C-alpha cells in the first residue's frame, strides 16, 4: 500500500487580508454548496486512480475552512474515506481563523476526525492585526486555543508573522511571548512577503507602509529561533518549530517530495511523477476546469526540487539518498561551491547530511542558487 497526502482547498473567507494573494473569496457564501458539490465530484473522479493508496495525512487549507458550516468539512472527510483508506493514525489538519470558531463547530469537527488545528493568529498586537486586515483580536486567539483544548485537541499550531510594516522588535517579542505562554506544541513564524497586486503592496509603493530593513528582519528571525527554543519548540524547518512528535506530518510530505493530491480551486498535486494544478479562480473551478499545466518531472526537476526543499529543513539533504536517486555524488562538480559556502559559514556537512547553518537559513535561496549553478 502506497501512502499519499490529501489537500482540500476551501477558498472562502470573511474578508481579504491586506497581504493575501491566495485563492480566497469573501462574500461568496451563496457558492458554498455548489463548491463542495464540485469538490466531492472531483474526489469521486479520482477513486479508480487511488486504488492501492492510503491517505497518511489530510489537510484543509484556505481561505478560512472554519468559516463554512462544519457539515461541509464533515461530509468531505466522509467522502474521502469512501474514496480511499485513511490511516487510523492519520494527521487531519484544519486551518482556522480564531474569530470563526465555536465550541459546537469544534465538537462536530473533532467527532469527524479532525485532530490538528492550525490557527491563523499572525500577531498578538491588536493594532498590527487591524493593519493586516485580520478579522479577529488577540484575545480571540487565546479563547480559540481554550476552545480547542476543551474539544479534546492537543495538536495545535499558531501561525505568526514578522517583518510587518511598522513592527518593532519589542512588538515581535511580545507576540512570541504571548504565543509560547499558550503552551501549544507547534508554532509557524513567517516573514511577511509583499505580493504584487495586494493592498499591502500598494501601501508600500505609496510610502504609506514602511517595511523593516533586511538586518531587522534577520534579527526578528533569530529572536524567534531563540525564544521558541527556550520554550521547547525546536526549529525543524525555516519557518516551523515544534515539540518532539508534533512536527506537521503533512508539510513534511511536501518537503520530502512525497505524493500528494490537491483538490479544489488553486490546489496543486504531485502524483505518479507528474505535477499538475487546478485553476486559481473560483468561477473557473466551478465551470469544471481541472488539471492545468500537467507535466512529467525530469531528473533535473527532481534534483532542483530535492535541493531546494531539503535545505529548508533542519534534517537537511541526505547525501546517500541523493546518490541513490540521481546516480552521482552530490559533490560532483560542486566542490568549489561547497568549499566557499562552508568557509562562509552558510552550510555544514556532517553525518551524511548537508545542512544550512543559522546564517544559511537566512539566505537559503541564494545558497540553493549557487549550488545549482556550480561548475568546476
pLDDT at res. 359: 95
CA nearest neighbour of 267 among 23, 94, 5: 23
Write the CB contacts of 254 (distance below 8 Å, at least 6 apart in sequence). 5, 260, 309
Question: Is the peptide bond between 138 and the residue preceding it cis, with omega within 30 degrees of 0?
Answer: no
Once rounded to an integer, what is the mean pLDDT over residues 53-68? 96
CATH of domain 299-376: 1.10.10.920
Q: What is the pLDDT of residue 133?
A: 86
Q: What distance in Å separates the CA atoms of residue 108 and residue 56, rounded to the nearest whole number?
A: 22
φ, ψ (nearest 5 deg) of residue 347: -135, 160
Between strands 347-350 and 353-356, the pairing is antiparallel
Residues 344 and 121: their CA atoms lie apart, in Å, by 36
Residue-wise pLDDT for 304-355, tens only, equals 999 999 999 999 999 999 999 999 999 999 999 999 999 999 999 999 999 9
pLDDT at 25: 86
Pairing between β-strand 2-10 and β-strand 116-122 as defined by DSSP bridges: unpaired
The chain-wide mean pLDDT, for the chain, equals 95
Q: Cα separation of 182 and 315, whole Å?
A: 27
In angstroms, the CA 77 to CA 67 distance is 17
> Domain coordinates of the chain in residue numbers?
2-254, 299-376
Handedness of CA 346, 219, 20, 195 (dihedral sign): negative
Q: Phi and psi at residue 101, in whole multiples of 5°?
A: -100, 145
Sign, Cα dihedral of 191, 196, 198, 203: positive
pLDDT: is 19 or 266 the higher one? 266
Kindly report, residue by residue over 175-234, the tens digit of the pLDDT: 999 999 999 999 999 999 888 888 888 988 898 888 999 999 999 999 999 999 999 999
What CA–CA distances, in Å, run from 111 to 104, 122, 128, 151, 250?
11, 27, 35, 9, 20
Of 65, 61, 151, the residue nearest 115 (C-alpha) = 151
Give the pLDDT of residue 21.
72
DSSP classification of residue 19? T
pLDDT at 313: 98
The grid coordinates of residue 352 equal: 551524511
pTM: 0.95
State in words which class domain 2-254 has.
Answer: alpha beta
Residue 376's pLDDT band (boundaries 50, 70, 90)? very low
Contacts by 171-177 with C-beta closer than 8 Å and gap 24+?
171/123, 171/125, 171/128, 172/220, 172/223, 172/224, 173/223, 173/227, 174/124, 174/125, 175/123, 175/124, 175/125, 176/223, 176/224, 176/227, 176/228, 177/227
Question: Is pLDDT above 60 for 375?
Answer: no
Tell me, what's the pLDDT at 15?
A: 84
126-143 tens-digit pLDDT = 999 998 888 889 999 999
Amino acid at each position: 500500500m502506497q501512502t499519499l497526502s490529501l489537500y482540500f482547498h476551501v477558498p472562502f473567507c470573511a474578508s481579504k487580508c491586506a497581504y493575501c494573494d491566495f485563492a480566497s473569496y469573501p462574500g461568496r457564501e451563496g457558492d458554498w454548496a455548489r463548491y463542495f458539490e464540485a469538490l466531492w465530484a472531483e474526489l469521486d473522479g479520482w477513486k479508480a486512480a487511488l486504488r492501492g493508496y492510503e491517505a497518511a495525512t489530510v489537510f484543509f487549507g484556505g481561505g478560512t475552512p472554519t468559516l463554512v458550516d462544519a457539515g461541509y468539512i464533515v461530509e468531505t472527510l466522509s467522502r474521502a474515506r469512501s474514496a480511499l483508506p485513511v490511516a487510523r493514525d492519520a494527521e487531519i489538519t484544519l486551518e482556522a481563523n480564531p474569530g470563526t470558531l465555536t465550541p459546537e463547530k469544534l465538537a462536530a469537527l473533532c467527532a469527524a476526525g479532525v485532530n490538528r488545528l492550525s490557527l491563523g493568529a499572525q500577531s498578538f498586537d491588536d493594532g498590527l492585526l487591524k493593519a493586516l486586515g485580520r478579522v479577529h483580536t488577540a484575545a480571540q486567539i487565546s479563547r480559540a486555543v481554550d476552545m480547542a483544548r476543551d474539544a479534546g485537541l492537543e495538536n495545535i499550531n499558531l501561525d505568526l508573522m514578522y517583518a510587518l510594516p511598522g513592527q518593532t522588535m519589542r512588538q515581535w517579542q511580545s507576540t512570541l511571548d504571548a504565543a509560547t505562554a499558550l503552551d501549544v506544541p507547534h508554532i509557524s513564524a513567517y516573514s511577511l512577503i509583499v505580493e504584487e497586486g495586494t493592498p499591502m503592496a500598494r501601501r508600500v509603493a505609496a510610502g504609506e507602509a514602511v517595511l523593516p530593513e533586511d538586518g531587522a528582519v534577520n534579527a526578528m528571525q533569530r529572536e524567534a529561533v531563540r525564544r521558541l527554543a527556550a520554550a521547547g519548540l525546536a526549529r525543524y524547518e525555516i519557518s516551523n518549530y515544534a515539540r518532539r512528535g508534533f512536527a506537521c506530518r503533512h508539510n513534511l510530505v511536501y518537503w520530502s517530495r512525497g505524493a500528494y493530491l490537491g483538490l479544489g480551486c488553486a490546489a496543486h498535486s504531485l502524483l505518479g511523477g507528474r505535477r499538475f494544478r487546478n485553476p486559481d479562480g473560483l468561477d473557473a473551478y466551478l465551470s469544471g476546469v481541472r488539471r492545468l499545466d500537467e507535466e512529467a518531472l525530469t531528473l533535473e526537476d527532481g534534483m532542483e526540487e530535492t535541493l531546494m526543499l531539503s535545505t529548508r529543513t533542519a534534517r537537511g539533504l541526505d547525501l546517500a539518498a541523493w546518490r541513490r536517486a540521481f546516480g552521482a555524488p552530490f559533490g560532483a562538480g560542486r566542490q568549489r561551491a561547497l568549499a566557499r559556502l562552508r568557509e562562509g559559514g552558510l552550510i555544514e556537512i556532517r553525518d551524511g547530511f548537508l545542512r544550512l547553518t543559522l546564517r544559511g537559513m537566512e539566505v537559503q535561496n541564494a545558497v540553493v542558487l549557487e549550488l545549482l549553478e556550480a561548475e568546476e
